[in-house]
């Protein structure tokens, strides 16, 4: 079959049906003591399941986590109402109720994202490589499209030369440099490198317009889209095109975006090699889950597309600034299939500056919400249930700035304003919330730990959260507003400095949490002086302590976010890769000398020479 049969999904669904009676856990009324015992038992069960290496154990751990988190949210929903003389009424009114509802909505959002993440992880598809026909004369023709605007030539040059070096019949491979910057040196380079040069009269519709312009001037059966800094391996086409030859309805084969330079988190925090990069979870884990549901997203680069399918949908969509995801959505709407090859087959440059990183994420967020407004996957025709769910989740994922800000500010509501936004006693929070949080962390570490450490999810989201709120809100109200922005690569950082233009939200949020913590300590001292601490209501000692711990947790996350804004000097124009390769060096007077590389770059190398013989 063109798409591997999803037997793991059947296993997952069977297990979910088997444990469906356990859903009574969501609503069973328990005393506080019995709830505490249930929480303890489930935490122990989760500890066991998350330490077993069998794949089914991970699936059971996700089921347990979903149920216990669901029970927590059911309990949270009852906190808004209370029974008085046989009638139910709101527990609070006014601003306190409004803040509490906002916090609860943030928790519901996080729970929804958690469930979809578990769904994507239940049975990730291990797609085998499909071999090409033995006769190369039957292989399809491929146009490689490399769109550019203002990127430096030394970055683009390597991509063009790498594309030309791919293992593919020369008469069936054409490399096209698409220049929206009208630069003479780019034209000269393309001519010298035997690549096709394309420039148009204007920059209308940005990258999508540039690609569509090239589509009208090329005729290859397949199109490989590469960002200007993504250098393909020699075997890129041989690993991806076989499936498209076998299945004529397969219109998109996406591969991971891999970067051979550290991103701002790795570079500024010194975590390279110790902490998985920010994009690792999506490209190395979740996309395999999407593949099971024929819902692989087009990510704008490192992907092969079928020209006839693009022509059927009218080319690359121009209505949004994320033409990539919009293209994938329209391909799926028209009945075409997609596939994901879980092997990095191209390597690019990560963003150097944290300012560039947050600007890129803000553009993605705006674009995805634009697609949600224009081609809402919940309402448009042609999509399967799985495709609707995964596309919708990918789009509303960029609304996470709102709940993240709610979590960062929530403890200050009580500690600074005296507003109880949780409506629960400390023992109840321990009995219900603590198991929910502990089991969530344990399951996250078991399911996603290879690609994303639990703490770092909060760090990554916190860094971009303040910069997503306004763009996403505007995109929902004005879906056609905003222009396209190119992500700068190959930037130089002359000296160490803190980027205050990015850091200020973390400073303000940190100051709020620090003030909340200090005021909480003051109120805690007051409560010890009172004969009856219960007179403080929500400000009783246990409630104060829990919110102070929450504020302290926020300060740790915001401290890391602030540390990311400390840019370290980066004066090399070419990234040095720590590769060790044996070789021989020809010296004019002493002949060949055995050597070994310690690092390599486009501009040079560090060599260890064997002492030459006299």
Instruction: For residue 607, list its beta bridge partners.
Output: 597
For residue 57, the tally of other CB atoms under 10 A from its CB is: 15
**Residue tagged active-site, from 324, 375, 420, 499:** 324
Using only the alpha carbons of the chain, give its radius of gyration.
27
Q: Is 124 exposed, middle or buried (0-12, 13-18, 19+ CB in 10 A)?
A: buried
Q: What whole-number distance in Å separates Cα of residue 247 and Cα of residue 239?
A: 15
Strand order in the sheet with 231-232: 231-232, 346-348, 258-259
User: Which residue among the candidates 180, 227, 263, 375 is catalytic per the annotation?
Assistant: 180
The Cβ of residue 48 has, within 10 Å, a number of other Cβ atoms equal to 12
Angle at 352 between CA 351 and CA 357, to 5 degrees: 50
Nearest-10 Cα torsion for 359, 231, 146, 256: -60
Tell the burial category of 370 from Cβ atoms under 10 Å away from its Cβ (0-12, 13-18, 19+): buried
Task: Using the Cα atoms of residue 143, residue 146, residue 147 and residue 148 in order, give the sign of their dihedral.
Answer: negative
CB 271 within 8 A of CB 319: no
Q: ∠ at Cα 440 (437, 441), nearest 5°? A: 90
Contact (Cβ atoms closer than 8 angstroms) between residue 79 and residue 90: no
> Do 256 and 438 form a contact (C-beta atoms < 8 A)?
no
Residue 284 neighbours by CB under 8 Å, 6+ apart: 256, 342, 451
Neighbours of 207 (CB within 10 A): 24
555 touches 513 (CB < 8 A): yes
Burial zone of 311 (CB within 10 Å; 0-12 exposed, 13-18 middle, 19+ buried): exposed
Kindly state the helix (H) or strand (E) to which residue 144 belongs, with its residue range.
strand 142-148
Give Cβ neighbours of residue 426 (< 8 Å, ≥ 6 apart). Answer: 540, 542, 543, 545, 546
Q: CA distances (Å), 370 to each of 229, 357, 384, in order?
A: 26, 20, 21
- Determine the Cα–Cα distance for residues 317 and 148; give it in Å rounded to an integer: 18
Q: Which of 348, 353, 321, 289 is nearest to 125 (CA)?
A: 289
DSSP labels, 361-376: HHHHHHHHHHHHHHS-
Most distant CA atoms of the chain, gap in Å? 103
Q: Give the DSSP per-residue string, 8-21.
A: HHHHHHHHHHHTGG
Distance of alpha carbon 485 from alpha carbon 390, whole angstroms:
26
Q: Among all chains, which residue has been given the structure tokens 């299939």?
A: 337
Closest CA relative to residue 61, chosen from 442, 392, 460: 442
3-state secondary structure of 540: coil
3-state DSSP helix/strand/coil % of the chain, to nearest 5: 55, 15, 35
CB proximity list for 470: less than 8 A, separation 6 or greater: none
Instruction: Based on the residue annotation, tell me whether 180 is a catalytic residue of this protein.
Output: yes
Active site residues: 180, 324
């Amino acid at each position: 079959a063109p798409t591997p049969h999803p037997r793991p999904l059947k296993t997952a669904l069977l297990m979910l049906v088997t444990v469906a009676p356990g859903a009574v856990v969501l609503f069973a009324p328990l005393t506080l003591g019995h709830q505490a015992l249930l929480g303890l038992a489930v935490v122990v069960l989760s500890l066991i399941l998350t330490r077993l290496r069998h794949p089914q154990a991970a699936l059971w751990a996700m089921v347990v986590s979903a149920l216990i988190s669901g029970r927590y949210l059911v309990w949270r929903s009852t906190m808004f109402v209370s029974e008085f003389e046989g009638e139910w009424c709101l527990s609070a009114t006014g601003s306190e109720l409004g803040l509490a509802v906002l916090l609860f909505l943030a928790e519901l959002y996080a729970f929804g994202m958690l469930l979809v993440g578990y769904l994507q992880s239940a049975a990730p598809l291990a797609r085998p490589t499909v071999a090409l026909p033995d006769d190369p004369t039957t292989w399809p023709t491929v146009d490689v499209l490399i769109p550019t605007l203002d990127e430096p030539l030394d970055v683009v040059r390597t991509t063009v030369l790498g594309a030309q070096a791919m293992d593919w019949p020369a008469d069936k491979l054409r490399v096209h440099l698409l220049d929206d910057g009208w630069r003479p040196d780019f034209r000269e380079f393309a001519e010298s490198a035997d690549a096709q040069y394309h420039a148009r009269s204007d920059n209308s519709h940005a990258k999508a317009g540039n690609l569509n312009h090239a589509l009208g001037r090329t005729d290859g059966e397949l199109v490989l889209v590469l960002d200007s800094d993504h250098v393909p391996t020699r075997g890129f086409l041989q690993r991806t095109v076989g499936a498209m030859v076998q299945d004529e309805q397969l219109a998109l084969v996406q591969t991971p975006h891999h970067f051979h330079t550290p991103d701002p988190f790795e570079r500024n925090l010194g975590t390279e090699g110790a902490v998985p990069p920010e994009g690792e979870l999506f490209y190395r884990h979740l996309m395999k889950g999407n593949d099971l549901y024929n819902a692989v997203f087009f990510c704008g680069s490192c992907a092969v597309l079928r020209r006839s399918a693009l022509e059927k949908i009218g080319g690359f969509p121009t209505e949004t600034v994320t033409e990539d995801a919009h293209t994938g959505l329209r391909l799926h709407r028209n009945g075409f299939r997609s596939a994901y090859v879980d092997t990095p087959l191209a390597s690019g440059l990560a963003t150097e500056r944290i300012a560039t990183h947050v600007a890129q994420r803000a553009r993605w967020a705006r674009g995805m919400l634009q697609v949600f407004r224009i081609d809402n996957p919940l309402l448009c025709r042609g999509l399967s249930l799985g495709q609707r769910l995964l596309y919708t989740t990918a789009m509303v994922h960029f609304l996470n700035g709102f709940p993240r800000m709610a979590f960062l500010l929530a403890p200050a509501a009580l500690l600074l304003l005296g507003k109880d936004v949780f409506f629960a006693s400390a023992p109840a929070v321990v009995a219900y919330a603590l198991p929910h949080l502990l089991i969530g962390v344990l399951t996250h570490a078991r399911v996603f730990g290879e690609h994303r450490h639990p703490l770092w999810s909060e760090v990554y989201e916190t860094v971009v959260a303040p910069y997503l709120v306004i763009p996403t809100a505007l995109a929902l109200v004005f879906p056609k507003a905003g222009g396209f922005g190119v992500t700068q690569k190959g930037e130089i950082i002359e000296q160490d400095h803190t980027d205050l233009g990015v850091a200020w939200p973390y400073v303000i949020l940190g100051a709020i949490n620090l003030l909340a913590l200090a005021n909480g300590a003051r109120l805690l001292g007051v409560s010890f002086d009172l004969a009856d601490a219960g007179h403080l209501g929500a400000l009783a000692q246990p409630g104060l302590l829990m919110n102070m711990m929450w504020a302290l947790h926020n300060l740790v996350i915001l401290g890391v976010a602030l540390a990311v804004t400390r840019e370290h000097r980066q004066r090399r124009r070419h990234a040095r890769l720590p590769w060790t390769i044996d070789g021989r060096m020809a010296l004019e007077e002493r002949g060949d000398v055995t050597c070994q590389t310690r690092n390599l770059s486009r501009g040079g190398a560090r060599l260890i020479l064997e002492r030459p013989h006299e």
